Chain A
Amino acid sequence: MTAQTITVTVAKDLEDLIPTFMTNRNKELETLRVALGAGDMEQLRQLGHRMKGVGNSYGFELISVLGKNIEDGAKARDLPGLQACITEYTDYLARVTIVYE
């Protein structure tokens, strides 16, 4: 896996909200890991649903996509699929950089 950055463009008027948004995403990632370890499908479903709604509202399209996959994976109890989503989310948050326009 390369360490290339992923650039996301966010509306300028949301700039002051983004630090809190990113902090919450990293907390969310940790909660996802714990829920997967505990096999808590309901929490995974709820977290996925939340990611799906909030991600693209701010301009982070992939967060919404991953959120939908996690929600669906939790419903299907697809543990490998969920693990793959969480790994991708970890990678994404590590590489994402934000440009404000």
Chain B
Amino acid sequence: MSDLASGRVAQQAAAAFRVLVVDDDPDMAGFLARMLTQQGMHTQVAADGRAALEAIELSPPDLVLLDVQMPGQSGFDICRRLKGQEATALLPVVLITALEDQDSRVRGIEAGADDFLSKPVRREELIARVNTLRRLHETRKELEGRRLAAEVQRKEAIRNAFARYISPQLAERVLRESGNGGEVFRDLSERTAVVALFADLRGFTRLSETVAVSIIVPMLNEFFAELTAAAHEHEGTIFSMAGDSLLVGFNVPLPQKDAVERAVATGRTMIQRFAPIAARWKAEHELVVGIGVGIESGEVVVGNVGAPSFMSYTMIGDAVNVAARLMQMAQIDEIMVGPRASLSLHSLLGRATPLDRRKVTLRGKSEPIEVLSLRVAVA
């Protein structure tokens, strides 16, 4: 049986229900506090409005019983102030007025009071009114708890969905900055500037021909695990994983001013992380493998592409094609950077940094383009 069904939650809530009694007459305050304490509620007494506001700020109660006529600030003043502040607007306030004082009731309603009690106070009426507000309070707290739980679940679902594409840190940032990560991805079905990185496993063809089929998949998983970790480390978004290659995007779904730098750092980390595995595979299977990386920047179309039953978060454009071609040309442990990404990289690294610059003609392109080549040293 659940806590709620067994009534345990209700009992705990009742025990924790706290009432602030505000009355300048100590006998009246003592009487009210005694009645409520007998109902299992926790009471605190304040002798005037200022003490009440201090007590509420220090430890907000669940309900305030507020006398109307007090020296200094009246009950109306206090009530109006509480209802006007976001933090206390929902705090139930019961105003205590004279029985025949209809004007006070009208003023109390205008001040936002939730209910009224008449003096002299009849204990049955006091308990009935407070219990009604307590039930409302508990229902509101329960609904708020459910709403928060649903919100946490919703964010967790979005986080899990994102985890297929982006690092946990970036997922948190998307949730934090957008409030609803789904909107970020949906709204990106448009042309946007990205940096595309393609990485693949050089020597994979020989691997697939010489290694037993049963261990190819675990080996590929080991390979992709390192590449994915490297992409997440630099907050890249993984767009596709096919065969032995991986496509990672930067500056998407959220802007990254240093997107090219991140892409190059990701390529370097991929190569360095995979190096020990490559060395082991060489020892175990006599395979010469490594990673080749191609990077290019430019405007592409980003969005969820596919059929309602199967969709993929995809980017399409020349920058992606150039990055793929450069990856195919890259040697083991080499990062090839296309001309547009090179411009940003040059300003980042400074013109004095020695870089291997060469002209290449890509498949499907009529004109040669100038690319940068970075060789990554591995231990």
Contacts and interface: CB of A to CB of B under 8 A. Distances in A.
Interface residues of A, number: 18
B256 interface: no
Contacts of B98: 49, 52-53
Nearest to B126: A57
Q: Which of A17, A53, A54, A58 has the most chain B CB within a 10 Å cutoff? A: A53
A57 B69 contact: no
B120 A64 contact: yes
B34 A49 contact: no
Interface in B20-51: 25-28, 30-31, 34, 38
B38 A13 contact: yes
Interface string A57-86: 110000010000000000000000000000
Interface string B114-131: 000001111100000000
A58 B27 contact: yes
Contacts of A21: 27
A31 interface: no
A20 B34 CA distance: 14
A24 interface: yes
Contacts of B27: 17, 20-21, 24, 54, 58
Interface string A15-33: 0010011001000000000
Contacts of B122: 57
Contacts of A14: 31, 34
A55 B120 contact: yes
B120 A54 contact: yes
A14 B38 CA distance: 11
Nearest to B31: A57
B9 to A, nearest CB: 28
Contact of B31 (A50, A52, A58, A64): A58
Nearest to A53: B119
Interface string B84-118: 00000000000010100000000000000000000
Contacts of A13: 34, 38
B119 A57 contact: yes
Nearest to A61: B120
Chain B interface, DSSP helix/strand/loop, else mixed: mixed
B131 to A, nearest CB: 18
Contacts of B34: 13-14, 17
Contacts, number: 47
Given A14-B31, A17-B30, A58-B31, A53 B25 contact: yes
A54 B25 contact: yes
A58 B30 CA distance: 10
A17 B347 CA distance: 82
A54 B28 contact: yes
A46 B38 CA distance: 30
A92 B98 CA distance: 23
Nearest to B101: A49
A54 to B, nearest CB: 5
A85 B120 CA distance: 19
Interface in B206-264: none
A57 B34 CA distance: 12
B26 A53 contact: no
B38 A54 contact: no
Interface string B121-159: 111000000000000000000000000000000000000
B26 A57 contact: no
A11 B126 CA distance: 15
Contacts of A7: none
A57 B30 contact: no
Contacts of B119: 52-54, 57
Interface of B: 25-28, 30-31, 34, 38, 69, 96, 98, 119-123
Given A52-B120, A55-B120, A57-B121, 15 more contacts: A13-B34, A14-B31, A17-B34, A20-B26, A20-B27, A20-B30, A21-B27, A53-B28, A54-B27, A54-B28, A54-B119, A57-B31, A57-B120, A57-B122, A58-B27
Closest 3 A-B residue pairs measured CB to CB? A53-B119, A56-B120, A57-B120
9 contacts: A13-B38, A14-B31, A50-B25, A52-B98, A52-B120, A53-B28, A53-B98, A54-B25, A54-B28
